[in-house]
A and B are shown apart, each in its own frame.
Chain A
C-alpha cells in the first residue's frame, strides 16, 4: 500500500514538474527572443535552436514521466481513494419535464429553419471561408 502511494506521489510530482518546466521553457524562450527582437525587429522569437536546446533538457523528464505512466498502467496502480465515489446524501428524484417532446419538436423545427436561413444568407459560406483560410493568431500562432 505504501509503495503504491509512493509511486503515485512520484508520478504526480513528475507530471507537475513536466508541465511547470514546459511552461517555464516557453516563457524563457519568449523572454530571450523578445530581448533579441528589440535589437533586431526581424529576429524570430522562437527558433529551432532555442526550442531544441530546451527540449534536450526536458526530454529525460518526459521519458521518465512516460515510463512511469506505462509501468503504473501496466501494474494497474490507481489512486483508489481519489476515484472512490464521493460521500453525499440521497438526491431528489428528477424526472424529465412535462411537455418535453413538444419543446423538442419546436426547437428542432427552429434549428432547421435557422440553418436554412443561414444557408440562404451566406452564413454557411462564411463558415467555410474562415475554416479553410485561417487567422493565425486565433489558433495561437502569433
Chain B
C-alpha cells in the first residue's frame, strides 16, 4: 500500500501542472469562438508542448517554431528559437516535462484510469531512446532537407506525428459548431494523425507517460540539459547509500536521479529512506529535507507569497488574453459578400509586378482568389495548380494569389525562379483582401467567383488539380 501511495504525485505538483496548463492556454474564449489567439504574445515560445493552433493557446510551441526555423534556415538562421530552447533547457531542463507541460498533465491523467499497467523494463528503456531518433529525423533532418533542397517548409513532426496538434489544434477547432466548414479540408493527413493520436493516448493509459518517454522530441532536447539545469532534483551524496529505491520507484526510464530521462517530478523523494533527495533551484531548496532548507515558518510564508503572486499572474493573464489585449480579433461589422451565393465586394490591390488587380475588371471571367503564405507547404504546392489552370485558360480565368500581411520572408524573392505567371500580391497591413474574403487564421484558402462575380466556393484548405478543374467548370457556366 505504501508503494501505491508513493506512486501518487504530490499535490503541489498537480496544482502547478494544472496552473501551467491554464497559463499556456489562457485565451479561454477561443474555445467559445472557435478561433485561435492572434495577439502579439505569440512571438514568445512557451516551455511545454502546447500546439499554437489550440484556440486557447497564447504562445508559440517551441517544437513547431524550431521546425519552421530549420525549414527556413536557408534564408534566416533560427537563432531566436535556438536561444529560447537553450534558455529553457539551462534553467529548467526536464523540470518542464514534470511540472509545466500540458501534455505531461494529460498523460498522467490518462494513466490514472483504472486499467492494467505496464511497468518499466529493459524494453521501455530501449524504447526511451526512440525520441532521439524522432528528434533527429522528424524535427531536424526532414525540415532541413526539404527546406534547403526543395525550398518547401515541412515541419515533419507536426505534420506526421504530433498528438498535441491533433488534439489541441485540429480536434478543438473542428468541435466548434462555427467551424463545420473545416470538415471539408480533412483527408489523409487528418486520418493518419487521428489514428496515431488514438494509439498514443491508449499507450498512455497503460504505460506511464508513453509519449513523453518514447516519442517526445522536446523532452529529448531538454534532457540534454538535465545535467546542468538550474532547477531540478539533486541527491546529497553524503546521505545517499546507493540503495536504488529512487530509481525503482520512478515511473520514467531513469538510470539515476537527474539523468536525461528524469523529469524532476520529485516522486523519488518519498521513496528515499535516507532523505537524500531534494528539489532545488541552484542552492535554494524548494522541496525536501535538506539541511539548507529554510525554517518551517519562513518557508510557509514564502510559499504563501509565491501562491498569491501566481494567482495574481493567472488572473491578469486571463483578463488580458480574453478581454484587454488589443490584438484580440473583432468580428467584421458588415457582410463583404464572401459567402457562397453572394457577390464579393470590389477591391483594388497592387501586385508584386507593379500592376494593379481590380476585381471589377475580372467580370465576365472566372475569378479565383487564393490566400497563402510562404511558410505554408500546402499553399506553396497548390500555387502550381493555379498557375497551370491560368495557362490552360489564359483568356477565361483571372487568378490572384494574395500573400498574408504577416510576412516572414520576402514573397518576391521566394517566388523568383519558380516560373509562375499568375499575379501575386501581399495583403495590405489592414488585411484588405483577408477581411473581404473572410480569410481566417488557417491557410490556405480559395475563393472562386463565377463570371458575374458571385462566390461559388469559399473554402479553407488546399485544393487538388481535379477539384480546381471541377470548380472552373462549375464557375464557367455561372
Q: A15-B205, A127-B42 are in contact. Are A142 and B378 (CB under 8 A)?
A: yes
A136, B113: Cβ atoms under 8 Å? no
A44, B183: Cβ atoms under 8 Å? yes
Q: How far is the CA of A70 from the CA of B190 in the complex (A)?
A: 30
Q: A16-B202, A108-B87 are in contact. Are A127 and B471 (CB under 8 A)?
A: no
A140, B166: Cβ atoms under 8 Å? yes
* A35 interfacial by beta-carbon distance below 8 Å: no
* B215 interfacial by beta-carbon distance below 8 Å: no
Residues of A contacting B471 in the complex (Cβ-Cβ under 8 angstroms) = 42
A108, B375: Cβ atoms under 8 Å? no
B112, A73: Cβ atoms under 8 Å? yes
* B38 interfacial by beta-carbon distance below 8 Å: yes
Q: How far is the CA of A134 from the CA of B377 in the complex (A)?
A: 11
B244, A127: Cβ atoms under 8 Å? no
A135, B42: Cβ atoms under 8 Å? no
Q: CB < 8 Å: which of B53, B242, B462 contacts A93? A: B242
* A1 interfacial by beta-carbon distance below 8 Å: no
A134, B441: Cβ atoms under 8 Å? yes
| A44 smallest CB distance to B (angstroms) | 4
Q: How far is the CA of A34 from the CA of B116 in the complex (A)?
A: 38
Residues of A contacting B38 in the complex (Cβ-Cβ under 8 angstroms) = 132
* A89 interfacial by beta-carbon distance below 8 Å: yes
Q: A44-B186, A135-B153, A141-B182 are in contact. Are A114 and B378 (CB under 8 A)?
A: no
Residues of B contacting A42 in the complex (Cβ-Cβ under 8 angstroms) = 457, 467, 470-471, 474
* B323 interfacial by beta-carbon distance below 8 Å: no
Interface 9-mer from B94-102, B129-137, B222-230, B303-311 = B222-230
* B332 interfacial by beta-carbon distance below 8 Å: no
Residues of B contacting A134 in the complex (Cβ-Cβ under 8 angstroms) = 36, 52-53, 169, 441-443
Q: How far is the CA of A138 from the CA of B154 in the complex (A)?
A: 8
B45, A40: Cβ atoms under 8 Å? no
| A85 smallest CB distance to B (angstroms) | 4
Residues of A contacting B462 in the complex (Cβ-Cβ under 8 angstroms) = 136-137, 142
A137, B378: Cβ atoms under 8 Å? yes
* B412 interfacial by beta-carbon distance below 8 Å: no
Which residue of chain A has the shortest Cβ distance to B471 in the bound complex? A42
Cβ contacts A112-138/B at 8 Å (1 or 0 each): 111111110111111111111111111
B467, A88: Cβ atoms under 8 Å? no
A26, B191: Cβ atoms under 8 Å? yes
Q: CB < 8 Å: which of A23, A46, A84, A133 contacts B404? A: A133
Residues of A contacting B442 in the complex (Cβ-Cβ under 8 angstroms) = 133-136, 141
* B297 interfacial by beta-carbon distance below 8 Å: no
Which residue of chain B has the shortest Cβ distance to A87 in the bound complex? B248
Residues of A contacting B245 in the complex (Cβ-Cβ under 8 angstroms) = 85
| A104 smallest CB distance to B (angstroms) | 5
B65, A127: Cβ atoms under 8 Å? yes
Which residue of chain A has the shortest Cβ distance to B375 in the bound complex? A130
A128, B42: Cβ atoms under 8 Å? yes
B4, A107: Cβ atoms under 8 Å? no
Residues of B contacting A87 in the complex (Cβ-Cβ under 8 angstroms) = 248
In the A-B complex, the 9 residue pairs with the closest CB atoms: A118-B80, A114-B83, A82-B117, A72-B114, A123-B80, A115-B83, A142-B189, A139-B169, A41-B466
21 A–B contacts, CB within 8 A, in A order: A8-B114, A8-B115, A12-B116, A15-B113, A20-B198, A22-B194, A23-B199, A78-B114, A79-B115, A82-B116, A82-B119, A85-B249, A104-B228, A116-B83, A124-B80, A126-B69, A140-B169, A140-B190, A141-B190, A142-B187, A142-B189
Residues of B within 8 A of A (CB): 3-4, 6-7, 36-40, 42-45, 51-53, 59-61, 64-65, 68-69, 72, 76-84, 86-87, 89-91, 112-121, 153, 155, 158-159, 162, 165-166, 169-170, 173-174, 180, 182-191, 193-195, 198-199, 201-202, 205-206, 225, 227-230, 234-235, 237, 240, 242-249, 255-259, 271, 373, 375-379, 404, 406-409, 441-444, 457, 460-462, 464, 466-467, 469-471, 474
6 more contacts with CB within 8 A, not counting A132-B42, A137-B378, are: A41-B469, A73-B114, A80-B4, A124-B80, A132-B406, A135-B153
